[in-house]
Amino acid sequence: MLVLDNTQVERLEAEAVNSARIRQPLYAPRKKVFPKRASGSFRRFKWLVMAITLGIYYLTPWLRWDRGPFAPDQAVLIDLANRRFYFFFIEIWPQEFYYVAGLLVMAGVGLFLVTSTVGRAWCGYTCPQTVWVDLFLVVERAIEGDRNARMKLDAGPWTARKLVLRLSKHTIWLVIAAATGGAWIFYFADAPTLIGEVFTGTAAPVAYITIAVLTATTYTFGGLMREQVCTYMCPWPRIQAAMLDENSLTVTYNDWRGEPRSRHAKKAQAAGQPVGDCVDCNACVAVCPMGIDIRDGQQLECITCALCIDACDGVMDKLGKERGLISYATLSDYNVNMAVATAGGSCSVNPSLVRTDGGAFSDKLAHFHIRKIFRPRTFIYMGAWSAIGLALVYSLLTRDRLEVNVLHDRNPQFVTLSDGSIRNGYTVKLLNMIPEPRTIIVTMQGLQGAEMNVVGVDLPADRSFAIAVEPDRLKTLKVFVRQPADQVGSATQTFKFRVEDKASFETDEYTATFNAPEIAR
């Protein structure tokens, strides 16, 4: 391997926007960040995640799922008009919103689990803000060039070329932002139908309003504000510290091997001065989308995207040194290694203390092992997350798709008929929660001698009726229950409405109250 001298590594003119040496007030004017394109394993992983997440977002509304002739065939659909949520084979009704609440709780616990284990991995890889900023940066680099070209263009005067480049960039950004808003509305209506209505101007006003709002927010947050959204608007950086402990993986500058920094290592070594592996090239600062210097330690702005690791590893490769000057590390390992590098804190960082005479790393150094992240906190979060998920799955698999609800008439609560019998009125609601027509048997249980009539059903009074219910619909019945006077046992009696689907063997019951005058006793 060709080993380069430190002075042969290009030094980039990059200054962290919040450098510890020149830290500005919290609400200082924004300094533009021009991230340099990085290359490496973490950058490739981010490309993969961006492709998957954007693919899911833009393509999901177009997936089809056959639910029969009585239900929509869009795989994922939030049908506000009919108050339904469809997710492939799952259909959620408004009264089943606890499934959505359960998923939100799972998402929260999952975020705690990920953060406590691998830091802000959500922020660095899958957060929508991160994904869209990456996408906008791809456009910016393709049009204006990489970091130095963009900085030169930004500092230069307005020329015809600069105007064309800026208009091209912002036009494409607006197209992406409009596509983002357009994709969102397709989750709330049949996508093929709605896209035709949007382009012909016949869609509902709320569709155009939604597209306009999401276009504006995506363009502003992803193109103009970028790192400011993460720094000032997002609450997660301010609460993530409660999720981290000494065994959480975070992006770390290992100053126990990097300090003292030097651009002239050979001269310093010849003079007997200690020299670390960091050549102060600022590559880590130049690639950071947040514009910070990871060498200043853990910071609120860091989203742990690990691009600084790729940049630093590239420099170490050129110098013929071991990778990992910047790496994912735990605080416990870092403290052990700092104790080795400083002789237990008795001196400044001395690179010779962490290496053997042959130049290899000392056996006293701590190295990360996957088992270190499996600790009580991890198991607690994983257990809670799994328990919620299993409970939701069990509930989905065992839930009934037939329900009955009964509302007793309030005024009057009972009527005394001419033959002395007592009649009560009820509103009976039959809920068919499958996309197929059903014949539901409604039966009275209890209330000795009583019979019922169903308004609109031209049949004699009886204790049981067969009712046809449309697919995926609520059927409302007006039912009158009559009990002979000599059978009335008390002023208040209870009985049950039982509903049954003979085809699927599903049943449900509702306990109702039958009221009568005191004198009837």
Q: What is the pLDDT of residues 327-369, one digit of tens each?
A: 999 999 999 999 999 988 888 888 889 888 888 888 899 888 8
The pLDDT tens digits of the residues spanning 224-281 come to 999 999 988 888 888 887 888 888 999 999 999 998 888 876 777 777 677 888 999 9
Q: What is the mean pLDDT of residues 67-91?
A: 89
The rounded distance, in Å, linking the Cα atoms of 283 and 276 is 16
CA 319 – CA 154 distance, rounded (Å)? 33
Question: What percentage of residues in the chain have a pLDDT greater than 70?
Answer: 95
Q: Which two tokens stand for residue 4?
A: 């380069």
Cβ(176)–Cβ(136) below 8 Å: yes
Q: CB count, 10 Å around CB of 454?
A: 17
pLDDT band at 520 (very low <50, low <70, confident <90, very high): very low
What is the average per-residue pLDDT within 160-186? 95
Q: Which CATH architecture has domain 402-515?
A: Sandwich (2.60)
Put simply, whether the predicted model's pTM sits higher than 0.75 gets the answer: yes
Q: Which of 26-35, 141-150, 486-495 has the lowest mean pLDDT?
A: 26-35
Please tell me the distance from the alpha carbon of residue 513 to that of residue 424, in angstroms, as a whole number: 9
b or e along 386-396 (b: 16 or more beta carbons within 10 Å of the residue's beta carbon)? Answer: eebbeebeeee
CA separation for the pair 402, 447 (Å, rounded): 24
Find tokens 């609450």 and name the residue.
235
Task: Using the predicted structure, report yes or no on whether residue 423 has a pLDDT greater than 90.
Answer: yes
Give the residue extent of every domain in the chain. 41-236, 249-368, 402-515
Give the pLDDT score at 7.
62
Closest CA to 373 of 191, 511, 245: 245
Q: What is the spatial distance between Cα 381 and Cα 376, in angstroms, rounded to a whole number?
A: 9
Assign residue 68 a region: left if phi > 0, alpha if psi is -120 to 50, beta otherwise?
left
Q: Give bridge partners of residue 117 from the DSSP assignment.
A: none
